Structure 1
């Protein structure tokens, strides 16, 4: 059974939303919406660090990786964005060399937007199970650089941060075991993921039902119900979307971890893992607790994963 052997995050320094008014061309109304309504306050920014440096910083914090480099069979880059570096630069290969993971096969998964992190964990677990080596590991690297105007914010939805996570995945283990995973894409036939006015209206219309579909699907595969969840670790898109989702799904508000929305911004597909690390540090997860990770991304992609701590 797939498990999270270790999780670490690297959070760069933050700047207040107000300082992004001019760079992003935000109006006074948009600043108020992001801060007062959506709960965003500070955004992780690392202008002096490359994507490879960010990802390496997160992976180097994995104490469980030290001395176990030869056990890593796969390094999986979970990309919230389709393109994260100009050709022929390969941040993933740079990270592999920096960490000394010479036996690992490296590849990226994308096109699930900010739901790609959970997809990468599922893919890593599937590959490890097929290998049949109980000692083999995979390293999932999640999070993106906001190096283009398109990637810096989603208009009237969220502002993107550059926090990243490293997740060491095993094929077995008795801690943080994956009990169920479900994903669904409600994409356009032409493959366009930009939120033009029509796309934005469609995303808003289906969001709550689509999120409920994957949450209930993951719970069904785990043989559990909403009442069995001790904690929800969501993507940090904004406070309003999760206030509505909690009511829609019947999840008590105090079981949803939203504290990082104000501290980091929406860090692409790294959010659930950043929230996991914070929850552990705060003592919110006890052995045997069942918890839910969720994500949604541009292109109408949705994913949910149920785990047992």
Structure 2
């Protein structure tokens, strides 16, 4: 069994209007109106003063349970979308571990599920800890990236990328924060980030059903029904796609925590963790509540996890 002990976020102070980035990103006036009116995408946060190492450290520093427990952290996993983030001679994850006092931990990066790699990292962390058999051991999962590589600033016609980050502590075992069900579905026919038009059209047509399928599988694995979910913590691609998901599942849209979509945009694999941290601050989860975290990675992987708070 796997459980989330704590989650924390780092949201940069600099808020930038998407309209101010339109020319740079090649967003037309018509597309900008769609982003605002239908997608509810208005602003993103940028961290010009931080590199990838800085984003990871800032989120981890916000974890109250990390300080004084560094010696218990056996694994540090970065769930990333982008595989190449710097020079061969420079390793942002190892630098972050050193700065956090975690140089003794096994550090690795998970990229196979793209923007759903954060959920994969949580599952992998729990499996590694369970195999070790130390009930006091912890794993640190880090998510969030820099939107600086060409092509990483926006998914055309879908969303704009922000630079907020998140961190969570994972332990093996049940109790509060227990992971009840996990499902990941990879549709390899969509492996190209920039597919030909025919394939892109087909992906758009099947996107909803593939996401709903993963969510249903996770809920079934948890042994509950959708009616038992107090909250869905989404990936922040846009509001419109989640309204369609709710229509298909027969759920009210307010069951999905969409507050961060207009303010943060899509923050790679950090979205669901950012939304969890925000939901906890707002008191949207009570002890014993079930919630679902969802993520979609281009490539294409659709993932969902169900937890008991």
- Same fold, judged at TM 0.5 (above): yes
Tell me how far 1:35 sits from its aligned partner. 1.3
Tell me how far 1:108 sits from its aligned partner. 0.6
| 1:245–1:152 CA distance, 2 compared to 1 (3 A) | same
Question: Whole-Å Cα distance in 2 between the matches of residues 249 and 197 of structure 1?
Answer: 29
Matched residue, 2:265: 265
Q: TM-score, normalised by structure 2?
A: 0.97
Paired residues of 1:181 and 1:218 also in contact (CA < 8 A): yes
SS of 2:77 mapped into structure 1:
strand
What is the number of equivalent residue pairs in this alignment? 308
Paired residues of 1:226 and 1:250 also in contact (CA < 8 A): no
SS of 1:269 mapped into structure 2:
helix
SS of 2:214 mapped into structure 1:
helix
Tell me how far 1:88 sits from its aligned partner. 2.3
Matched residue, 2:153: 152
Paired residues of 1:81 and 1:111 also in contact (CA < 8 A): no
Paired residues of 1:17 and 1:35 also in contact (CA < 8 A): no
Check if 1:208 corresponds to 2:211.
Answer: no
Question: Whole-Å Cα distance in 1 between the matches of residues 254 and 24 of structure 2?
Answer: 35
Question: Whole-Å Cα distance in 1 between the matches of residues 130 and 217 of structure 2?
Answer: 22
Question: Whole-Å Cα distance in 2 between the matches of residues 22 and 89 of structure 1?
Answer: 32
Matched residue, 1:179: 180
Paired residues of 1:137 and 1:168 also in contact (CA < 8 A): yes
SS of 2:304 mapped into structure 1:
strand
Matched residue, 1:74: 75
Q: Which runs of 4+ in 1 moved over 6 A?
A: none
Matched residue, 1:224: 224
Q: Deviations over 1:97-127 (max 9, x none)?
A: 0001132100011121111110000000010
Matched residue, 1:14: 15
Tell me how far 1:2 sits from its aligned partner. 0.7
Please list, as runs of the form range in 1=range in 2, the aligned pairs for 1:1-309 lying within 5 A after superposition. 1-12=1-12, 13-188=14-189, 191-309=191-309
Q: Which ranges of structure 2 fall in alignment gaps of 5 or more residues?
A: none
Paired residues of 1:179 and 1:308 also in contact (CA < 8 A): yes
Paired residues of 2:94 and 2:103 also in contact (CA < 8 A): no
Paired residues of 1:55 and 1:165 also in contact (CA < 8 A): yes
Q: Deviations over 1:209-236 (max 9, x none)?
A: 1111111111111111111111100000
Tell me how far 1:196 sits from its aligned partner. 4.2
Q: Which ranges of structure 1 fall in alignment gaps of 5 or more residues?
A: none
Question: Whole-Å Cα distance in 2 between the matches of residues 148 and 53 of structure 1?
Answer: 17
Q: TM-score, normalised by structure 1?
A: 0.97
Paired residues of 2:2 and 2:173 also in contact (CA < 8 A): yes
Paired residues of 2:234 and 2:272 also in contact (CA < 8 A): yes
